[in-house]
Amino acid sequence: TVTGMIITFQAITLFGAGDPRLMAGGISQALITTVLGLTVAIPTLLLHNIVQSRARHVTDILQHEAVAVVASHAEQYQKQ
């Protein structure tokens, strides 16, 4: 994205802003890299949310089981 914008600004600096065709290549490059970045970022973000949700669920289960084990041991200790 940045390189595409650099190319566009270089074209404007060298030739002025009169010919849109000179800027189109750089803008096109910037848009293509943006689309490719979003193509990677959006599925990755969705996958991250799924994994994070499952990890939170497993953590909740482990925490519940740990409390049950501690309570069971405390109960057995009090009986002795």
Predicted confidence (pLDDT) per residue in 63-79, tens digit: 999 999 999 999 888 88
Task: List the domain range (segments joined by +) for residue 27.
Answer: 2-79
Task: For residue 75, give the 3-state DSSP assignment.
Answer: helix
Number of domains in the chain: 1
Predicted confidence (pLDDT) per residue in 3-40, tens digit: 777 777 887 787 777 677 777 777 888 888 889 999 99
Structure confidence at residue 34 (pLDDT): 86
User: In which band, very low, low, confident or very high, does the pLDDT at 44 lie, cut at 50, 70 and 90?
Assistant: very high
